[in-house]
Amino acid sequence: MNRFLLFLLLASSAFAGTITGVVVGVHDGDTLTLLTAAKEEVKVRLWGIDAPEMGQAFGKTSKESLSDLTFKKSAAVEEKGKDRYGRVIGVVLVSGKNVNLLQVETGMAWWYRDYAKKAKDLEAAQDAARTKRLGLWADKSPVPPWQWRKDEKKK
């Protein structure tokens, strides 16, 4: 096997697994910091969702929602990989509940289709939140964060 392919295989398998700890920081509606038992701080980006940015409508509300769900609570993170900023990408579970899914169900985040195409649970949650006009879906024409970021770069 090609050495490069072997390296990629080993590197991707290194991300598989679960990290546990206590949530000690919430940065926005889709990013938090977990403190492990080994006193290591791990920055975690919630997989499959994209929450409004802090300068965007519902940004603060989304952050407050994630904080209410996770801050100072024990959590398990099912790792999916790492992003370009070195953050762990994962599904966050608190008391057995999928926090990523809860953020979408309550209209505090979008299903990030480009990165989670097969996440039918997130798709269904977003459709239900939109139909019920929950959270960001109460806005007449909510702007997805990926579009908002793109627009901000043009300014």
Q: What are phi and psi of 128, to 5 degrees?
A: -65, -45
Angle at 124 between CA 121 and CA 129, to 5 degrees: 120
Angle at 49 between CA 101 and CA 116, to 5 degrees: 95
* Contact criterion met (CB below 8 Å) for 59 and 135: no
- Confidence label for 151 from pLDDT (cuts 50, 70 and 90): confident
Q: Has residue 9 been placed in a domain?
A: no
Does residue 88 belong to any structural domain of this protein?
yes
Question: Is residue 45 flagged as an active site residue?
Answer: yes
In a domain, residue 2? The reply is no
Instruction: Give tens-digit pLDDT for 47-75.
Output: 999 999 999 999 999 999 999 999 999 99
Q: Is 84 a catalytic residue?
A: no
Q: Which of 64, 78, 87, 152 is catalytic?
A: 87
> Any residues with CB less than 8 A from the CB of 91 and at least 6 apart, and which?
46, 47, 48, 77, 78, 80, 98, 99, 100
Going by C-beta distance under 8 Å and a sequence separation of 6 or more, which residues neighbour residue 47?
80, 89, 90, 91, 100, 115, 116
pLDDT above 70: percentage of residues in the chain: 90
Report pLDDT for 78: 97
Residue 82's domain comprises: 14-154
Catalytic member of 45, 64, 84, 152:
45
Total-model pTM: 0.87
Domain assignment of residue 27, yes or no: yes
Q: What is the reported pLDDT for 155?
A: 76
* Domain assignment present for 116: yes
Domain with residue 95: its CATH number is 2.40.50.90
How many domains would you assign to the chain? 1
Selected catalytic residue, list 53, 133, 149, 152: 53
Q: How confident is the model at residue 2 (pLDDT cuts 50, 70, 90)?
A: very low
Structural domain contains residue 18: yes
Does 5 map to a domain? no
Contact (Cβ atoms closer than 8 angstroms) between residue 126 and residue 137? no
What average pLDDT is seen over the chain? 90
Does 7 fall in a domain? Answer: no
User: Is 50 exceeded by the pLDDT of residue 8?
Assistant: no
